[in-house]
Structure 1
Amino acid sequence: MKDAVNFGKFQDPFVTAKGDTRAHVPLSDPQTLWFNTGTLCNIECENCYILSSPTNDALVYLTADEITDYLDQLEDRNWGVREIAFTGGEPYMNPEMNEMTRRCLERGYDVLVLTNAMMPMQRKKVKEGLLELNAAHPGKLTMRISVDHWSEELHDKERGKGSFGKTITGMEWLSENGFAMAVAGRTVWGETDADSRQGYADLYAKHGFDIDANNPGMTVLFPEMDETVEVPEITTDCWGILNKQPTDVMCSNSRMVVKHKGADAPSVIACTLLPYEKEFDMGRTLEEAEKSVQLNHPHCAKFCVLGGASCSA
């Protein structure tokens, strides 16, 4: 959906509202293949970009066999991917999550899991499976925990009362059992980057978490995706003006697999942020997903090109 504040913009995939050539991004160096395990989540955040909740199953659970099919395609297409990443919803709502992780690790991939580390992950059977996976594949599995703010007050404002404490409990278990951890936070709170990172550093020190608050790959602070804000369209001239390259943008090195409710098979999406936009659904196979991506959405400008964000490690 292109918001009214950007009326007239982001209409033609190839030409901007001013008649300039729209920028596009080739898939030049695929490094990460994302899987959205399903939009169901144990909580409902105040501003979830994908609208995850305990009732939203717009993206249904992927299965381990569907994951295997895409792992086979990776080899067939020689993509050179180093990392498989899982997001949701909450991935540990999916009953096959540990099996999907196992199949990726056994192929030699690094695996990144985005989780809130709350009750779905903390179930006994899930934890037993995680311990087995981490022991069998040391250094290959990273858990990126959603901690929207380093303070309990603001984190719970976004995620609901009591969520901060439950997440910290999950992180303590992960830390005590030797899991590699990272954190995903938000920049919506009006703090400077330095103040925000200091807050996270203090939180990590308090709990003994081995996470570097000043490493953007370990403490990832995402700009907010607000479609009520007017943003410029990105043209081919913008690369030089901004001193950036198409290779700086996430869709140059990643794709995401989703399964829409009612679909008989998964499909490949250009961007993790746009799972519902038909224009960014590239087809069912990785071969089809090798096409260039036209930067024809406000998120392309605000989040990726101007915000400089990347969901990958």
Structure 2
Amino acid sequence: MNDLSPFAVSHVRPLDPAKFRDPLVTARGEARAEVAMTGLATLWINTGTLCNLACRTCYIESSPRNDALVYISLAEAEAYLDEALALGTREIGFTGGEPFMNPDMIAMLGAALERGFEVLMLTNAMRPMQRFEADLLDLQQAHGERLTMRVSLDHYSQPIHEAERGPGTWDKAIAGARWLSDQGFRLAIAGRQLPGEDEAQARDGYAALFEQAGLKVDAGLVVFPEMDATADVPEITTACWDILGKSPDSIMCASSRMVVKRKGGARPVVAACTLIPYDPQFTMGDTLAEASRPVRLNHPHCARFCVLGGASCSA
């Protein structure tokens, strides 16, 4: 599970094959935009791509069989947590796959909280999470004010949610979210806005669901727009910042990075962002210090999700 599942897989390329080929210039020969790092506010740790679900449009293609990103270990994660602590990082986000498939997940969660980080935990709230209810309650009692559990619901209606995640997934996800709510966890929901549905409609639909299901969503609702990965998108040039009235500092990769461990790799590496874990041009280095260099926006997701979509994965 990942709460960006409304977005298409990162292997999908733009319709125009001339675009997003050169990291320095666009297809029209204009200087490609880049984003300099302003500081590491959020460090994401990908716990592995294995998941109990195989969602229809999962951007990272998580499934019960996809181990393209293998489980990161507690020791590997702790090395990055210590480096992040020294850099003044505020937030650690855990994502997958379904993070609770990783056997070291509870230990990694505890390690992040014990170091004083705010932690954003992404989950589908189904059986993998429910196996660890006692451990989660212990962490909530000790560090609850800094732990946010973000549960993905692909829509506020059961049919659309299950069209994405599979039959029988709705009741299990709602039950897991209700347990978190009833136990006093800081609960957030990641939802989806369908084509033809404006954000206000989506939020009203989710609000009605929360009331009906008895969910106290005190850490907020994040609504991601539906995005068509087959649609052509413009390349982002250095001139776009002024044209769009945007600052590169507002883009996700200005303040976040994600640690991944690719299958066959000797050790984890740091990727530019959560959306592009496989593309080697977005591998920034082995350490967080190495990964602080600027990111050239040479991928459709850079335009589709971040610059034009205005979205971010963090809290």
Tell me the TM-score range normalised by the shorter chain: over 0.9
Q: State which of 106, 109, 131 in structure 1 corresponds to 2:117.
A: 109
SS of aligned partner of 2:264 = coil
Identity of paired residues, percent?
Answer: 56
Question: Matches of 2:179 and 2:185 in 1, distance apart?
Answer: 9
The answer to whether structure 1 residue 73 and structure 2 residue 89 are counterparts is: no
Write out per-residue CA displacement over residues 20-56 of structure 1, whole angstroms, 9 at most, x where no aligned residue.
1111001113210000000000010010000000000
Aligned residue type for 2:159 = E
TM-score (norm 2): 0.94
> Do the aligned partners of 2:192 and 2:202 also contact (CA within 8 Å) in 1?
no
Question: Matches of 2:40 and 2:83 in 1, distance apart?
Answer: 13
1:98 aligned residue: 106
Q: State which of 245, 255, 258 in structure 2 corresponds to 1:256.
A: 258
Mark the runs of 5 or more structure 1 residues left unpaired by the alignment.
none
1:7 aligned residue: 17
Aligned residue type for 1:24 = E
1:269 aligned residue: 271
Mark the runs of 5 or more structure 2 residues left unpaired by the alignment.
1-10
Question: Matches of 2:110 and 2:63 in 1, distance apart?
Answer: 26
SS of aligned partner of 2:122 = strand
1:278 aligned residue: 280
> Do the aligned partners of 1:2 and 1:297 also contact (CA within 8 Å) in 2?
no
Question: Matches of 1:199 and 1:303 in 2, distance apart?
Answer: 23
SS of aligned partner of 1:70 = helix
1:158 aligned residue: 164
> Do the aligned partners of 2:47 and 2:99 also contact (CA within 8 Å) in 1?
yes
Question: Matches of 1:3 and 1:104 in 2, distance apart?
Answer: 35
Deviation at 1:306, TM superposition (A): 0.3
The answer to whether structure 1 residue 206 and structure 2 residue 212 are counterparts is: yes
The answer to whether structure 1 residue 178 and structure 2 residue 180 are counterparts is: no
Superposition pairs of residues 208-227 of structure 1, within 5 angstroms: 208-211=214-217, 218-227=220-229
Write out per-residue CA displacement over residues 233-279 of structure 1, whole angstroms, 9 at most, x where no aligned residue.
00111011111000110000100000001111000000100001011
Question: Matches of 1:4 and 1:176 in 2, distance apart?
Answer: 44
Superposition pairs of residues 11-90 of structure 1, within 5 angstroms: 11-76=21-86, 78=87, 80-90=88-98
Question: Matches of 1:188 and 1:297 in 2, distance apart?
Answer: 23
SS of aligned partner of 2:145 = coil
The answer to whether structure 1 residue 195 and structure 2 residue 201 are counterparts is: yes
Deviation at 1:75, TM superposition (A): 3.6
Question: Matches of 1:223 and 1:296 in 2, distance apart?
Answer: 22
Change (3 A) 1:12 1:2: farther
Change (3 A) 1:10 1:134: same
1:138 aligned residue: 144
Question: Mean Cα displacement is larger for which, 126-135 or 2-11?
Answer: 2-11
The answer to whether structure 1 residue 119 and structure 2 residue 122 are counterparts is: no
Question: Matches of 1:188 and 1:8 in 2, distance apart?
Answer: 30
2:8 aligned residue: none
SS of aligned partner of 1:6 = coil
Aligned residue type for 2:201 = D
Aligned residue type for 1:223 = P
> Do the aligned partners of 2:14 and 2:232 also contact (CA within 8 Å) in 1?
no
2:7 aligned residue: none
Find runs of 4+ consecutive structure 1 residues off by over 3 angstroms.
Answer: none
Question: Matches of 1:75 and 1:37 in 2, distance apart?
Answer: 19
SS of aligned partner of 2:144 = coil
Question: Matches of 1:278 and 1:40 in 2, distance apart?
Answer: 21
TM-score (norm 1): 0.95
Deviation at 1:188, TM superposition (A): 3.3
Question: Matches of 1:229 and 1:146 in 2, distance apart?
Answer: 25
2:313 aligned residue: 311
Deviation at 1:187, TM superposition (A): 2.3
> Do the aligned partners of 2:43 and 2:89 also contact (CA within 8 Å) in 1?
yes
